[in-house]
């Protein structure tokens, strides 16, 4: 499979340009959320963590909808497909574009959240918990991206995004039911327990497998229709 | 000489529609008009020619490349615009032109500037603020300025006001001065096809019902007015597309006119009063109503 790298690069740059305003707003909102967290007060922690979750979910949904759903809805997809690209070029450009537009705010906010946990009076045990939350967001994003790449129905695509993202609520409740994880959030030390490592590695591996599988499937298509 | 494209025994099947047994060729430098009602298969045919769809049977060869496998190489020399294609609303025409310039080595910036002026477009304005006519012209500009060897247009003049339509047709006519450039365009507007095309291809219900040189094709159709009573079974003659009586006058639309037809009609008691050439629109409507063309 030979990829048309110069055109893929241009298409990724195009997606980046189309998303950069929302990206700036989301990163800014994320930084505000981290500031609240950094105050290390119960009310500020609640506001900050809620805001951070909203920002992360928004970044995931905006990234996918801007580059994939909107292109279908606004018929710009036909324009892109008329360019000298194969389905493999198109899939790879969408994958890289999405990983960039979601990956940048995700990485910035993950780094910021970990720094806030370590550098402020918040218990250091929250570091593992934060990683578990971010890992779920990554997993939900991977499922949503794969679903939106695979279905043409806007309804099903929206269902996949909303469905996976709202499942973070029972996931958080589930984490609270695991003493090895829940107890660790109150201590001022990073404690890696078996359940935490298992959940974290499962979510990360699943995310990689889902995105990799969806990309391989779509990249092998001989034609767009 | 390599043809602009050659379709050999093409089939493409969807759950509720099938394009079947299409064999068609466009010589280099020719303009082909593709005519058919909604759902005839024009868009599917254009998608096959652009490598966007893979045929279920047969071979699609465009500019010497077999599609969809070699679609990247072929699309470097194809300009494709369809009626349902849109540009990025929040971005300007200039942004789109810069994108095209980065992708196509043959992008002609001077020609693009000339088209901006001719189409009276504002390149710095966001495309979302353009009228429908301006959007179509912007799309055409992006296709034409890359100087492709083959242009594929799906309903390029649909929804345009008369002034915009003429501007688009004039720009296309300019393009056609280049003898190496080939064009296939589908249109509901048979006047456009009549004006621009060298050859005409009719699609109906997923089948190719005629493809011929425009003049030869139009010469083969005649509206014949006869005096007499409409004989039974005239509709079954292969050269007759339709026949209807109005009092003592009988109007016949012949799909394969020849000089011997008046004598054969006379043998049935019909005296030919006159025979007139038909406009493409009339041919199109008659052909669709009679269920075939040739």
Mean pLDDT of B254-283: 90
* A138-173 pLDDT per residue, tens: 999 999 999 998 887 888 889 999 999 999 999 999
Q: Which of residues 46-105 of B touch A (CB under 8 A)?
A: 47, 50-54, 68-69, 71-73, 75-76, 78, 80-82, 84-91, 95, 99, 102-104
Domain membership of residue A116 (yes or no) is: yes
How is chain A split among helix, strand and coil, in percent rounded to 5? 85, 0, 15
CA distance B41 to A49: 54
Asked whether this complex has an ipTM greater than 0.90, the answer is no
By CB neighbour count within 10 A (0-12 exposed, 13-18 middle, 19+ buried), where does B294 fall? middle
Domain membership of residue A224 (yes or no) is: no
Q: Compare CB distances from A78 to B53, B76, B85 and report the shortest one's residue.
A: B85
**A203 Cβ partners below 8 Å, 6+ apart?**
A132, A135, A136, A138, A139
Reported confidence tier of residue A208, pLDDT bands at 50, 70, 90 = very high
Per-residue confidence (pLDDT) for residue B292, from 0 to 100: 58
Average pLDDT, chain B: 89
For chain A, first and last CA: distance in Å? Answer: 19
Closest chain B residue to the Cα of A1, Cα to Cα: B69
| Residue A214 Rama label (left phi>0; alpha psi -120 to 50; beta) | alpha
* Angle, CA of A165, A168 and A169, to the nearest 5°: 120
* B13-67 pLDDT per residue, tens: 998 899 999 999 999 989 999 998 888 899 999 999 999 899 999 999 999 999 9
Q: Compare CB distances from A74 to B73, B86, B102 and report the shortest one's residue.
A: B86
The total of structural domains in chain A comes to 1
Per-residue confidence (pLDDT) for residue A221, from 0 to 100: 82
Domain membership of residue A124 (yes or no) is: yes
- Concatenate the DSSP letters of all residues of B25-50 into one string: EE-TT-EEEEE--TTSSHHHHHHHHT
Extract the tokens encoding A142. Answer: 């991977």
Residue B180 reports pLDDT greater than 80: no
Q: Which domain holds residue A209?
A: 5-219
The better pLDDT of the pair A37, B158 is held by: A37
Per-residue confidence (pLDDT) for residue B4, from 0 to 100: 93
Which of A77, A224, A67, A88 is closest to A161 using CA atoms?
A67
**A223: chain B residues, CB-CB within 8 Å:** 51-54, 68, 71
Per-residue confidence (pLDDT) for residue A1, from 0 to 100: 66
| Residue B225 Rama label (left phi>0; alpha psi -120 to 50; beta) | beta
Residue A82 in contact with partner chain B when CB distance is under 8 A: yes
Residue A213 reports pLDDT greater than 60: yes
Q: Compare CB distances from B52 to A10, A76, A223 and report the shortest one's residue.
A: A223
Per-residue confidence (pLDDT) for residue B291, from 0 to 100: 67
Neighbours of A173 (CB within 10 A): 9
Tell if the CB–CB gap between B86 and A224 is shorter than 8 Å: no
By CB neighbour count within 10 A (0-12 exposed, 13-18 middle, 19+ buried), where does B180 fall? exposed
Mind telling me how many Å the CA of B290 is from chain A's nearest CA? Answer: 32
Tell if the CB–CB gap between B72 and A222 is shorter than 8 Å: no
Neighbours of B243 (CB within 10 A): 21
**B85: chain A residues, CB-CB within 8 Å:** 75, 78-79, 82
Which of A68, A59, A57 is closest to A147 using CA atoms?
A68
Residue B38 has phi, psi (to 5 degrees) of -60, 135
Residue B142 reports pLDDT greater than 70: yes
Domain membership of residue A225 (yes or no) is: no
CB burial of B158-177 (b: ≥16 within 10 Å; e: otherwise) equals: bebeeebbebbbebbeebbe
**A17: chain B residues, CB-CB within 8 Å:** 91, 95
What is the DSSP-derived secondary structure letter of residue B76? T
Tell if the CB–CB gap between A78 and B91 is shorter than 8 Å: no
Mean pLDDT of B170-194: 81
**A76: chain B residues, CB-CB within 8 Å:** 86-88
Compute CA distances B224 → A108, A170, B6, B257, B258, whole Å.
78, 79, 36, 9, 12
- Residue boundaries of the structural domains of chain B: 5-217, 222-277
Domain membership of residue A55 (yes or no) is: yes
Best B88, B97, B104, B156 member to test A by mutation, with max A CBs in 10 Å, is: B88
Residue B179 reports pLDDT greater than 70: no
Residue B177 reports pLDDT greater than 90: no
* B199-235 pLDDT per residue, tens: 999 898 899 888 889 888 889 999 999 998 888 888 8
Looking up tokens 């959007």 gives B135
CATH number attached to the domain at B5-217? 3.40.50.300
């Amino acid at each position: 499979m030979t990829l048309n790298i110069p055109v893929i690069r241009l298409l990724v740059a195009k997606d980046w340009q189309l998303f950069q305003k929302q990206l700036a707003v989301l990163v800014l909102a994320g930084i505000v959320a981290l500031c609240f967290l950094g105050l290390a007060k119960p009310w500020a922690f609640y506001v900050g963590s809620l805001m951070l979750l909203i920002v992360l979910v928004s970044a995931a949904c905006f990234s996918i909808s801007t580059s994939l759903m909107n292109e279908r809805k606004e018929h710009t997809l036909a324009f892109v497909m008329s360019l000298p690209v194969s389905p493999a070029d198109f899939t790879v450009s969408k994958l890289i574009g999405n990983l960039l537009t979601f990956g940048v705010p995700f990485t910035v906010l993950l780094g910021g959240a970990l720094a806030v946990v370590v550098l402020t009076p918040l218990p250091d045990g929250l570091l593992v918990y934060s990683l578990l939350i971010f890992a779920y967001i990554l997993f939900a994003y991977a499922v949503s991206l794969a679903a939106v790449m695979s279905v043409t129905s806007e309804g099903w695509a929206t269902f996949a995004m909303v469905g996976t993202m709202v499942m973070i609520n029972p996931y958080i409740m589930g984490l609270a039911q695991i003493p090895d994880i829940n107890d660790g959030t109150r201590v001022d030390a990073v404690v890696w327990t078996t359940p935490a490592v298992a959940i974290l590695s499962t979510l990360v591996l699943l995310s990689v497998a889902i995105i990799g599988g969806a990309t391989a499937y779509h990249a092998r298509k001989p034609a767009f229709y | 000489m390599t043809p602009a494209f050659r379709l050999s025994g093409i089939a493409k099947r969807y759950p509720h529609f099938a394009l079947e047994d299409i064999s068609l060729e466009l010589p280099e430098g020719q303009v082909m008009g593709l005519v058919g009602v909604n759902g005839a298969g024009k868009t599917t045919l254009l998608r096959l020619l652009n490598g966007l769809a893979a045929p279920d049977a047969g071979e699609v060869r465009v500019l010497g490349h077999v599609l969809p496998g070699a679609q990247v190489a072929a699309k470097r020399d194809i300009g494709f615009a369809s009626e349902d294609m849109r540009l990025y609303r929040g971005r300007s025409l200039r942004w789109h032109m810069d994108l095209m310039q980065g992708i196509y080595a043959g992008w002609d910036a001077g020609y693009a500037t000339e088209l901006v002026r001719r189409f009276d477009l504002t390149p710095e304005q966001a495309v979302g603020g353009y009228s429908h006519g301006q959007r179509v012209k912007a799309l055409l500009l992006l296709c034409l300025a890359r100087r492709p060897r083959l242009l594929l247009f799906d309903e390029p003049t649909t929804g345009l006001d008369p002034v915009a339509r003429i501007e688009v047709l004039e720009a296309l006519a300019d393009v056609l001065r280049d003898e190496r450039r080939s064009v296939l365009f589908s249109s509901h507007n048979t006047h456009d096809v009549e004006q621009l095309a060298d050859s005409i291809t009719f699609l109906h219900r997923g089948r190719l019902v005629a493809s011929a040189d425009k003049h030869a094709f139009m010469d083969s159709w005649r509206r014949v007015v006869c005096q007499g009573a409409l004989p039974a079974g005239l509709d079954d003659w292969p050269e007759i597309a339709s026949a209807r009586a109005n009092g003592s006058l009988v109007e016949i639309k012949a799909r394969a006119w020849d000089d011997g037809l008046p004598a054969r009609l006379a043998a049935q008691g019909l005296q030919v009063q006159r025979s007139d050439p038909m406009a493409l629109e009339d041919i199109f409507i008659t052909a669709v109503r009679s269920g075939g063309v040739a």
